Structures are given as C-alpha cells and as structure tokens.
Amino acid sequence: MKTNSRIEKLLGQGAFVVTSECGPPRGADPEVIRRKGELLRGVVDAVNVTDNQTSVVRMSSLSAAVILKGMGLEPVLQMVCRDRNRIALQSDLLGAGALGISNVLCLSGDHQKFGDHPQAKNVYDIDSIQLIQTVCRMRDEGKFLGGEEIKGKPALFVGAAANPFADPFEIRAARLGKKVKAGCEFVQTQCIYNIERFRRWMEMVRERGLHERCAILAGVTPFKTAGMANYMKKNVPGMDVPDEMISRMKGVPKEKQAEEGIRICVETIAELREIPGVRGIHLMAIEWEDRVAEIVKAAGLLPRPE
C-alpha cells in the first residue's frame, strides 16, 4: 500500500467499493458538513468532498474534508484546476498530506461561466491529467514539478473522473488510458443512465486492460423528480439520459417520483455490478444525502466492510 487510504485497502482486498459525495456549504457553518457526514457514516467507504462544484463559491474542499476526517469518515479531496495554479495546487496537496487526507480526485473543473462568479479569471495552468502526474511525482519521487525535493511526501491515493458519455466517444477509453498512464489509480464515472453506452465504453476499457490498472467506480445519481431527469438531459453537458428514463419518471405521479428515481438507481447499480471491470459504485445523491443509506441497503451493499 502506498497510502493509508481506505479505498486503496478495500480495493486491494477485492471488495466492491461504495463512495458517495458531500458538497460543502455556501457558508462557514461546519454543522452543515457534519450533518451530511453523519448521514453517510457506516453507509459508504469514502466520501468525495467537492471543490466549488459548478463554479459556485463554497467552503473549501480541504476544510470540509478535514471536518469529515475528524468525524472518522474517509474523505476524497476533490481538486479542480480552474482556480489554482501549480504553486497553489502543490501547496494544498502538502497540506492535505499533513492533515491526514489519503485520497485526492484530480479534475479540470467546470468552467466558471456556470457559477456565481462568471466574471472571474480562470487559471488552468495545468490540466487534470497533469495534476495526476503532479500528485504521483510528489508522492512517488518526492519531487515538486519544479524539480526540487520534497521533505515529507504526501501519501495520497490518486483518482480522477471519467465521462463515458461525453464526445468524441471513440477517444473516451483512450483518454482514460492517458489518466492511467499518468498514474491514476481509481476513477469515478459520470452518472450512468445509458447502460448500453457504458457497457460499450467498458468493453473499450477492458480491451486496453485499463480496468486491471485502475479501479473503475461506476457513477450513479438518483432522480428526485421527472423535472430533474429532463433538466439533466437538456442542460448538463456530457450527460446522457435516455428518453425511456424520462418517460418512466413521468409515468408515475409526482409524489411517487422520488421513490421511482431511487428504484431506477438501485436497478442500475444491480446491472452495473454485473459488468466485468466495475469495482465499485460512486453514488452522487445531490443534496439528497439522507437517502443514500436506503439506496445502498436496497442495492444489497450493506454492511460495509470494516
């Protein structure tokens, strides 16, 4: 084991891993994070802490990760390349190491156009693949990007995101290949609604043998309403929501749509578990952390391993 990461340990033992996520609040109240964390305790193996997701200013992911860590949860520190240059990113990676964070997820980040500060200047000094390389270099070679030696290497298990539904489809496995080549050890995918397309992507991933070098955690998000399904289809770039899903959500009365969304999610998890190379589930219940436990339970994934 390169790190103290619980995900690394469980994957090493061959467990089917369950991760979820927790969006930090738009304020300085630590109780928000603690409440969300409490809902996930014992239900998932690790919790992603998003980094100013959709470019909306929130409590920093590192601070929120430290709060979760203090509760005994296992945070996955998300880091985007939008807001920090290589100096700030490496500095925060050292801080994460010092604060006992064991997992990092390297992302490009949504463009600031989508957020609450569209006037901001973006950074993008390095990209997500280069950030993976940076973390690995710091951890494995003990060197900064600038070449200087690090005294006290950060022991971080390195992850990234993969979107099998973005275009161009034909390079999506090759792009994962680049992330793996850069040193990525696990990926969490974009929410899967189009299972057929995900299967095709997994075939390409297996052809390249990437599933053996990098653990693939399949992403799922339960729909709360038919409106949400429709919104995701139409307005979220790189999201593939088949029409059948929307009709299925619309086919039930409004007050029963949440249950239907959860049912679809549980069925999806069952199908994903059967796909060779899928090593776990990443459950993104957006502002719906209170339903994660029942989804994981219904999917037959409780109790979680020690």
What Rg value do the Cα atoms of the chain yield, rounded?
18
Q: How far is the CB of 299 from another protein (least distance, A)?
A: 25
Considering beta carbons, is residue 111 or 199 the nearer one to another protein? 111
**Range list of β-strands (E), the chain:** 17-22, 46-49, 75-80, 103-107, 157-162, 186-191, 215-220, 278-283
**159 binding another protein? (CB under 8 A):** no
Site for another protein in 177-236 (CB under 8 A): 177-178, 181-182, 190
How many residues touch another protein under the rule CB under 8 A: the total is: 37
Q: What are phi and psi of 159, to 5 degrees?
A: -125, 175
Calpha distance 207→188 (Å, rounded): 19
Report the residue from 116, 125, 203, 271 that binds another protein according to the rule CB under 8 A.
125
**120 binding another protein? (CB under 8 A):** no
**139 binding another protein? (CB under 8 A):** no
Report the residue from 99, 120, 145, 150 that binds another protein according to the rule CB under 8 A.
145
**130 binding another protein? (CB under 8 A):** yes
Site for another protein in 97-116 (CB under 8 A): 108-111, 113-114
Closest CA to 222 of 255, 260, 195: 260
**Range list of β-strands (E), 27-81:** 46-49, 75-80
In the shown chain, the binding pattern of residues 273 to 292 toward another protein, with x for contact by CB under 8 A and - for none, equals --------------------
Length of the chain: 306
Tell me 157's DSSP state: E
Which residue bears the tokens 């397309």?
Answer: 197
Q: How far is the CB of 119 from another protein (least distance, A)?
A: 14
**147 binding another protein? (CB under 8 A):** no
Q: How far is the CB of 236 from another protein (least distance, A)?
A: 9
Report the residue from 53, 61, 133, 268 that binds another protein according to the rule CB under 8 A.
133
Complete DSSP assignment for 188-230:
EEEEP--HHHHHHHHHHHHHTTHHHHSEEEEEE---SSHHHHH
Stretch that binds another protein, among 167-175, 221-229, 254-262, 264-272 (CB under 8 A): 167-175
- Please list, in sequence order, all residues whose beta carbon lies within 8 angstroms of the beta carbon of residue 98, skipping any fewer than 6 positions away: 152, 154
Q: What are phi and psi of 190, to 5 degrees?
A: -60, 160
By CB under 8 A, name the binding residues for another protein: 81-82, 86, 108-111, 113-114, 122, 124-130, 133-134, 145, 161-163, 166-168, 170-171, 174-175, 177-178, 181-182, 190, 237-238
